Structure 1
Amino acid sequence: MIKWLLVVVVAIVVLSLAGPFLSRYGLGRLPGDLTVKFRGKLVYIPITTTLILSLALTLLGRLI
Structure 2
Amino acid sequence: MGRLLIVGGVLLAVVGVVIVLAPNIPFLGRLPGDIRIDNGNVKVFIPLGTMLIISLILTVILNLANRR
Paired with 2:33 and 2:23, the residues of 1 have a C-alpha distance of 15
Q: Percent identity?
A: 40
| Gapped regions of structure 1 (runs ≥ 5) | 1-17
Residue identity in the other structure for 1:58? T
By how many angstroms is 1:41 displaced? 2.6
| Gapped regions of structure 2 (runs ≥ 5) | 1-18
Q: Greater RCO between the two (CA within 8 Å, min separation 6)?
A: 1
Dislocated runs of 4+, deviation >6 Å? none
Q: Which residue of 2 aligns with 1:34?
A: 35
Normalised to the residue count of structure 1, the TM-score between the two structures is 0.58
1:56 is paired with a residue whose SS is helix
Structure with greater Cα Rg: 2
Question: In angstroms, what is the RMSD of aligned CA positions?
Answer: 2.1
Paired with 2:42 and 2:24, the residues of 1 have a C-alpha distance of 21
Normalised to the residue count of structure 2, the TM-score between the two structures is 0.55
By how many angstroms is 1:39 displaced? 5.5
Equivalences, count: 45
By how many angstroms is 1:38 displaced? 4.4
By how many angstroms is 1:49 displaced? 0.4
Paired with 1:30 and 1:52, the residues of 2 have a C-alpha distance of 9
